[in-house]
Structure 1
Amino acid sequence: MTRIDPKAVVDPSAELDEGVTVGPFTVIGPNVQVGAGTRVGPHVVINGPTRLGRNNRIHPFASIGDDPQDKKYAGEPTRLEIGDDNVIREYVTLNRGTPEAGGLTRLGDRNWIMAYSHVAHDCRLGNDITFANSASLAGHVDVEDHAILGGFALVHQFCRIGAYAFCGFGSVINRDVLPFTTVSGHMAQPHGINMVGLRRHGMGSERIRELKRAYRLIFKSGKRLDDALEELRVLGKENPDLEHLAAFIAASNRGILR
């Protein structure tokens, strides 16, 4: 059954599914939906319109679904959507979207967002992502599945972080980070394939060998990026990883870290 601490404040219009627990001194506002089995700790604030899926764990002092930090925002009903099985630690801030970008900030499933991290308006996060403490996204950032941001990593607005990428602690990222790669530094620079992460996810030696080949083509061959991309597209016709790399590069607006 749903259990709401008597010291919590829950708006009558909020929808809490079966098995939701709400800790003391938490405030849940109107237009909030909380999926079954989600546990909301003490001193959490959830504003709407916000929808949380099933079995999320929200730790104390998190701020979920508050207004976007955008001076152009004028109170429009934008949204935050959070999937299932996410862990959101202490003092994390997740803001709703803005009308100019479709009005939606979204997190997928099984993400682990550690203390003091920030996800700004209109960001889109996939699944199985890890943010170490104080990692922060500016607005309009996309993060693909299985990416990792180290502690205090900072990502400029409109950047993209590719699948299985690893961004070292304290990285300052102002362009797109290619899938499967490691970057670090201030400003961040690429430092090879994310070998540890790829092996942890069970990628075999042949798959990793092909990704290394692609990395050398993009970063070490001395070729113009357009020329390297054309070769990568040919290789990608028989390799889904390289096809994804090529598509990611082709879709870049800010350019890639190179």
Structure 2
Amino acid sequence: MTRRKPTVADLRARKGKGQLTMLRIFTLEEAAAAEAAGIDVVSIPPALATDPEYRQVAPTLFSMTGVDHREAGTREDYLRFAGRMLMAGADALYCSAGLGTVRYLAEEHIPVVGHVGLVPSRATWTGGFKAVGKTADAAMVLFEEVRAYEEAGAFAVEIEVVPVEVASAISARVGILLWSMGSGPGCDVQYLFAEDILGTNRGHMPRHSKVYRNFAAEFDRLQSERIAAFREFISDVASGAYPEDRHIVRMAPEEAASFLARIETAR
């Protein structure tokens, strides 16, 4: 059966029927790989969403994009940005702004995805970059926040670094889709960064990440080979080993002789 890109309605109809897979990707190569592998949902930067080649390599990936609300401008600016992204081929808009903005966008029929738990742009309010919802009181705050997103019209919410018991219980009690990043298997989507999966992240590796390949070591090997090749080129030029006769073009002998004779008398 030929795979097709899911709609928001398709994703909502799957609520409670198992987990889908989601990646944060940054390049056309990663998009093509996600497409070929059968990933369901991706988060992409605006530059990739508007790349004319993106939908050629990723025709069936449900693609969310967004911009940090701190640089988005007014709600009207946010709406214009969302419109550009959807017209370019994106399927949903990540919104880290307040519920008023979420409601404003949803009322214009923009598919909006919110964010609860460890939200990087709001981490100062929850104590920094650490798990959120580890007490019963904090967990109830999360539950109410998810319900508020649902009431505001968001169709999904990313739930990041929340105890598995909390995320699972909330997911079972709401109609909104929960996309789990480090919040366990009881949600609707499992979400990881491609750079963590591929081992290209050289910084902090989150607890919830899993490395499946070591691309960093391969990139280091290729960089060493790149440097070695450049050095060999330098050496060949210095020794005269490059260029060889097969690398150059020659004139017919009689034409070369005529040219050299004429250039000697040219002034």
TM bucket normalised to smaller = under 0.3
> Greater strand percent: which structure?
1
TM-score by length of 1: 0.26
For normalisation by structure 2, the TM-score amounts to: 0.25
Structure possessing the higher radius of gyration over alpha carbons? 2
Larger helix proportion of the pair: 2
